[in-house]
Amino acid sequence: MRINKFLAEQGVASRRQADVIIAEGRVTINGKTAQTGAEVGPDDAVMLDGKLLSHKVRYEYYLLNKPKGCVCTVKDDKTDSPRKTVMDFLPQGAGKVFPVGRLDYNTEGMLLLTNDGDLAYRLTAPQSEIPKTYLVRVEGTVTGQQLNRLRAGVEIEPGVVTKKCKITVTETDKSYTKMHVVLTEGKNREIRRMFEAVGKHVCFLKRIKIGELTLSGLDRGEVRRLSAEEVFYLKNL
């Protein structure tokens, strides 16, 4: 298998992040610095930062109801005062997993964590078009014209237009509007930037579904293992 897939299966990082680690020269195969795209067999000795990695992997899958105020990284090393990460919510004894995709610091809701690199890639790859549903609350009312623009796709930066999406208004009055928004892509801060493009401010954002998988009554900050049936469902989305 390719070296980035091997590293993902070890729970080191996602495949994309693994490519960065490889480019930094931190990985060796049989004593030689690994190159992007290199193949790894069961008899090859793979080391990361001088530590030998095992070829045996036990996959783990967790579902977290992420609260606001934490970052979707394994470790927050970009500030002088590290912030809480989603890893802090995992149960004691959990294996070496990583978050599948990201929710920004002020967004809450459904987040998967695993060391299954293939599943993580499938769920986040743009070509997979996995539907993800968000509960969105914006200030004030949203006009039909604004909704139609959002559904058709809006430009969120020069030359970058969002894909078509589904939006259903669930509750509204003069002070706020609640909606369910279904996306099949995952650009950085996409929903917030979409609504900014039509002059609306998102004051609450929560991911509530991936496909038809829901939070199943998990309170904020709670985490549980996925069942075998749920894992099978995600792998076959």
Catalytic residues: 104
DSSP class of residue 155 equals E
Q: How far apart are CA 237 and CA 225, in angstroms?
A: 19
Instruction: Please list, in sequence order, all residues whose beta carbon lies within 8 angstroms of the beta carbon of residue 16, skipping any fewer than 6 positions away.
Output: none
Helices (H), the chain: 3-9, 15-23, 117-124, 144-152, 190-197, 228-235
In this structure, the strands spanning 202-210 and 108-114 are parallel
Name residue 139's beta-bridge partners.
176
Q: Contact at 8 Å (CB) between 5 and 118?
A: yes
CB-CB neighbours of 83 under 10 Å: 13
List, as own/partner pairs, every contact residues 87-95 make where C-beta atoms lie below 8 angstroms and the sequence separation is at least 24, other chains included: 87/113, 89/64, 89/221, 89/222, 89/223, 90/62, 90/64, 90/223, 91/223, 94/60, 94/62, 95/11, 95/58, 95/60
